[in-house]
Structure 1
């Protein structure tokens, strides 16, 4: 009997030691995984460093995005030197916008991604972007999707601090207020992302149910759906026209647009 109890006690201690060893290894692996993820995110940000996103530019058939961006730079942003752009395209899948009073639907303008060949020119365009404040066009930096999600949780805090007259600075996914780094834990960020995703899915489901009920008069239980977005390339037009300001501000903010999109760069 004593030998049996001793064997059980030894087995328990060994199992306890094994569990503690596994737990330690898991903590170390999580730390390594976090470090690798941070490095990968930094590399992705650097890969997109020469890009800018242009929102609110009216979308047309057969447009040439490179020439549209060059036109904006030379006219709206008053940049006299020739701007070198290696590529430009609409981001995301072409969709349908708001339904008008006459039951016609307006096309939702997608953001234009522009990759600049000279970083100094890219920075100059970004610096001159306040000149577009009286138009529907706006310019933003291009980040990986993971960074955009983090920024969405920090932007309300940034705006609040500005309204309160505090010194606030947002760089990539880090927010500084009065010189202090504001830390959002991963769990807080993930929770905000889940809430935003739930709200968006609920709105989409609600609109679908309204459409179904208007036809059948029946109501269904709410569900969730998602659509995968792809980047598409524009065709080259026979004639280049001046960029027009779109009414995309009525179709959702640029952060909501980005949340719906997934690009190859991400």
Structure 2
């Protein structure tokens, strides 16, 4: 009887030891799996951090490229002027350059003999519509001639008589910035301050203002 009881206890201890050994193996395996997963997580975190750094650098490079592109586009347009109110010939094929030269000859007769060399290209912009004159854009061969006509047309009687207005050729970004900063300019003028635009830039009492001032 005693021997039978001892044998049963021995079997029970063996089962317990076997179970403990099996559980130990499971724990060891789970620990290794956890360590492996932790290593994987850490590796993925490092990769994610690297990707975030690369994305940040790419975004910075992209912003710098965008700024340079805008600056180049802005610089190129410094040779241009836009003409608003210049009647468009819808019945016949219009030669935009010849029409522009004829207009400029009326505005500045003293330069009429040089206009073939002064005017590089001219063309209408926008969608063609019946009974509506599209804006004309003219590019001058030399910057000094562009500046000269920009000054002359501000007080030209020819422009006033024909309802023609010359304007600088701004980029889309500059147009948006001018519109955004106009309330500041208007407020400053009402307060008696000297506020004005110079090219794409805005100044109040000699200080250049930006979108950060909004």
Deviation digits for residues 63-100 of structure 1 (CA, Å, limit 9, x no counterpart)? 4433433343343x44522232122221122124xxxx
**Of the two, which has the highest radius of gyration?**
2
Q: From the superposition, tell whether residues 16 and 41 of structure 1 become closer, same or farther in structure 2 (CA, over 3 Å).
A: same
Determine the C-alpha separation between the residues in 1 that align with 2:102 and 2:148.
15
* Residue 111 (structure 2) aligns with: 81
TM-score by length of 1: 0.56
3-state SS of 2:64 partner: helix
Determine if contact 1:52/1:113 at 8 Å carries over to the other structure: yes
Deviation at 1:178, TM superposition (A): 3.1
Decide which moves more: 82-91 or 160-169.
Answer: 160-169
Question: 3-state DSSP class of the match of 1:53?
Answer: strand
Residues 126-164 of structure 1 deviation map (CA, whole Å, 9 limit, x = unaligned): 112321574532111223334434433334443443344
Q: Tell me which residue corresponds to 1:121.
A: 145
CA distance in 1, matches of 2:60, 2:138: 36
Give the length in aligned residue pairs.
175
Following superposition of structure 1 onto structure 2, how do residues 1-266 of structure 1 map, counting pairs within 5 Å? Answer: 1-61=30-90, 62=92, 63-75=94-106, 77-78=107-108, 80-82=110-112, 83=115, 84-96=118-130, 107-132=131-156, 134=160, 136-184=163-211
Name the SS of the counterpart of 1:108 in structure 2: coil
Q: Do the aligned residues in 1 keep the contact of 2:170 with 2:200 (CA within 8 Å)?
A: no
CA deviations over 1:215-256 (Å, ceiling 9, x no partner): xxxxxxxxxxxxxxxxxxxxxxxxxxxxxxxxxxxxxxxxxx
Unaligned runs of 5+ in 1: 97-106, 189-266
Structure 2 residue runs without a partner (length 5+): 1-29
Higher relative contact order (CA 8 A, sep 6+): 1
3-state secondary structure, aligned to 1:2: helix
- How big is the alpha-carbon RMSD for the aligned residues of Structure 1 and Structure 2? 2.7
Q: Quote the Cα distance in structure 2 between the aligned partners of 1:108 and 1:163.
A: 36
